[in-house]
Structure 1
Amino acid sequence: MAITTQTDRERGERDQRRPHGQGRQATDVAPRRARTMGRRLQRPGAWFALPAALMLAIFFTYPLITSLWQSFFATSGGVSTWVGLEQYARLLRDPLVGKSLLNAGIILVVQVPLMIALAVGLAYLLNQSWLRLRSGFRLLTFLPAVTTLVAYAVVFRVMLATDGGAVNQLLAVFGAGPIDWLNNEWWARIALIAAITWRWTGYNMVIILAGLQSIPAELYEAARIDGAGRWQIFTRIVIPQLRPVLIFTTVTSTIGALQLFDENYILTEGGPNDATLTPVLYLYKVGFRQFDFGYASAIAWLLVGLTAIIAIVQFRLMREKQ
């Protein structure tokens, strides 16, 4: 049984006094005006977004599609020929592709966990209230992240020089012999890992520090009341609360390791004996030194696929541990 309120009866009486259809038309005008006004308000936003959309289409979408299309062609004598999946089959036969992936894997397995562990430790230390001059230490730790990639790589190259380098001079003070940092395969990898770690630890530290400061103080207080020590608080409260931040920093660091180019290009140019050759550096050499852009595009899409697979696996592993 419907209940008619006084307001509904008054509205019905007013509609009856109006000409036929006028009340219904009046009620339909307001929503139409609202929709029209909403569309007018949305148009300026669309116009403001148009330049960014055009830039994205020109400098990202178009090159992405073009590189995929180009990977199915081979160029010889300035003439492009359709070869289908031959460029991707060539990846399986190329020993340098395997060597570059092996080098990237070594950097990924060693450097990323080391850097994340250092970033967590530094962030936890710089978040302590008893530490004096915390702002100054945070600034010093973050400064490497804002230095120019080329500049810091050149500085590391000078410091790690076999003859007269600052690092070997420091080792000589302690009676250690000079190390051929950039001309030995394993020492070159260690030097590259050290340079990357110095550059990006502060960047990840700032992100993790922001995550630490978002942890409620009540959790620490409750843990202390229950008798938890510092290590228990760190492992049972801090690390679980930081899991989303750690997922983000691990995935971005993994992508950065797979896309490594500037540091190894300046320090060693991929040597010695291709010990620091990475997929992006090999892509650069194939594309811009051998001018084999079809094969370089295939290498690029191989890298895209591997990056996506590793990122998805990391996300799922982190979620399963939650």
Structure 2
Amino acid sequence: MTSRTSPGSGRRRLDPGRAGRWFVLPAAALLLFFFAYPLGASLWQSLFRTEGGVTSFVGLGQYERLFSDPLIAKSLLNAGLILIVQVPLMMALAVGLAYLLNQSWLRWRSGFRLLTFLPAVTTLVAYAVVFRVLLATDGGAVNQMLGVLGVAPIDWLNNEWWARVSVIAAVTWRWTGYNMVIILAGLQSIPPELYEAARVDGAGRWQTFWSVVLPQLRPVLIFTGITSTIGALQLFDENFILTGGGPNDATLTPVLYLYKVGFRQFDFGYASAIAWMLVLITAIIAVVQFRVMREKP
């Protein structure tokens, strides 16, 4: 009696694991070529110095140079000031706007949300150029409005103090709506039962906001806080277009200094060391923020 075999018994079965590796291979190759290799190359390049067309291995010499460079200290100070002032201000505005736009009694909520988010879809260069025109000392729209109110023109972009204010104002205008949308999504995910329980307990609006809303928003606030901090430490476009890092390096940031060292002085080894210093500082601040803001067990 002849035994029957199933139609597919003679075919080779496809290993799901092997097939999955083939699907992952293109993404892994792109990640290796465009991320891992440049990362390793910049770290290797930071160990060399080029002088007079001669490249020599200096080990950690470029990193030792960071501690004696006054512009590194100045750029970190400027970034720290922007971080301390701009990020809390932007986060407070984003939370306030999100909470307001989440209220059912507010009319035309969709339109207000769109208007608030519009700055986030403008290109960095375009909005920085617009701010440069608006803040021009002679003929700028801001100084013209101040003149109507009887206020003397302010040299927004050529005074150290006001240049920092201008950069902070521009960055806050650009990114508040972006963070507001993320926080608004977090607000809409809060169960209505929590509001009802707070209302039954006699909690007012402020008590509900402080005891219910903010604790529920903790994961969202951690995310937006960390991303905003990283963005503040990596500022480049606004400073480059508005002030060029001036006046007197008052708005010079680490990334802008890295650009000047690498693409104007062509000292790519030192520029790579600056980049790795910035990566380390950003990672440390992000870890500290996460541990401070994370929910306690």
1:197 aligned residue: 172
Runs of 4+ with >4 A deviation = none
**Do structure 1's residue 267 and structure 2's residue 242 form an aligned pair?**
yes
Of 70, 78, 83 in structure 1, the residue corresponding to residue 45 of structure 2 is 70
Distance 1:112 1:176 in 2: 29
Is residue 97–residue 180 contact of structure 2 (8 Å, CA) maintained in 1? Answer: yes
Output one character per residue of 1:146-175: Cα deviation in whole Å (capped at 9) or x when no partner: 100000000000000000000000000100
Distance 1:173 1:46 in 2: 67
**Structure 2, unaligned stretches of length 5 or more?**
1-8
Offset of 1:320 from its aligned partner?
6.3
1:52 aligned residue: 27
How high is the sequence identity, in percent, across the aligned residues?
79
Distance 1:49 1:286 in 2: 38
Name the one with the larger helix percent: 1
Structure 1: which amino acid aligns with 2:244? E
> TM-score if structure 2 supplies the norm length?
0.94
Of 192, 201, 217 in structure 2, the residue corresponding to residue 226 of structure 1 is 201
Of 83, 99, 103 in structure 2, the residue corresponding to residue 108 of structure 1 is 83
1:153 aligned residue: 128
Pairwise CA RMSD of aligned residues? 1.3
Structure 2: which amino acid aligns with 1:74? R
Structure 2: which amino acid aligns with 1:152? Y
1:176 aligned residue: 151
Structure 2: which amino acid aligns with 1:204? N
Partner SS, residue 179 of structure 1: coil
Offset of 1:178 from its aligned partner?
0.2
Higher Cα Rg, which structure: 1
1:276 aligned residue: 251
Offset of 1:59 from its aligned partner?
1.1
Offset of 1:321 from its aligned partner?
5.4
Distance 1:253 1:66 in 2: 28
Distance 2:244 2:208 in 1: 45
Partner SS, residue 15 of structure 2: helix
Task: Say if 1:202 and 1:188 are closer, same or farther in 2 by CA, change over 3 A.
Answer: same
Distance 2:175 2:254 in 1: 20
Distance 1:158 1:51 in 2: 45
Is residue 222–residue 294 contact of structure 2 (8 Å, CA) maintained in 1? Answer: no
**Do structure 1's residue 130 and structure 2's residue 110 form an aligned pair?**
no
Is residue 160–residue 248 contact of structure 2 (8 Å, CA) maintained in 1? Answer: yes
1:243 aligned residue: 218
Give the number of equivalent residue pairs: 287
Map of 1:75-114 to 2, 5 A cutoff? 75-114=50-89
Structure 1: which amino acid aligns with 2:240? Y
Is residue 117–residue 181 contact of structure 2 (8 Å, CA) maintained in 1? Answer: yes
Structure 2: which amino acid aligns with 1:144? P
Distance 1:54 1:135 in 2: 42
Distance 1:55 1:194 in 2: 38
Partner SS, residue 290 of structure 1: coil
Bigger CA drift: 53-62 or 123-132? 53-62
Offset of 1:56 from its aligned partner?
1.1
1:13 aligned residue: none
Structure 2: which amino acid aligns with 1:145? A
1:61 aligned residue: 36
Distance 2:194 2:258 in 1: 49
Offset of 1:43 from its aligned partner?
3.8
Partner SS, residue 55 of structure 2: strand
Output one character per residue of 1:90-133: Cα deviation in whole Å (capped at 9) or x when no partner: 00000000000000000000000000000000000000001111
Task: Say if 1:321 and 1:115 are closer, same or farther in 2 by CA, change over 3 A.
Answer: farther
Partner SS, residue 276 of structure 1: coil
Structure 2: which amino acid aligns with 1:138? R
Of 223, 226, 229 in structure 2, the residue corresponding to residue 254 of structure 1 is 229
Structure 2: which amino acid aligns with 1:225? V
**Do structure 1's residue 300 and structure 2's residue 275 form an aligned pair?**
yes
> TM-score if structure 1 supplies the norm length?
0.87
**Do structure 1's residue 285 and structure 2's residue 263 form an aligned pair?**
no
Partner SS, residue 81 of structure 1: strand
**Structure 1, unaligned stretches of length 5 or more?**
1-32
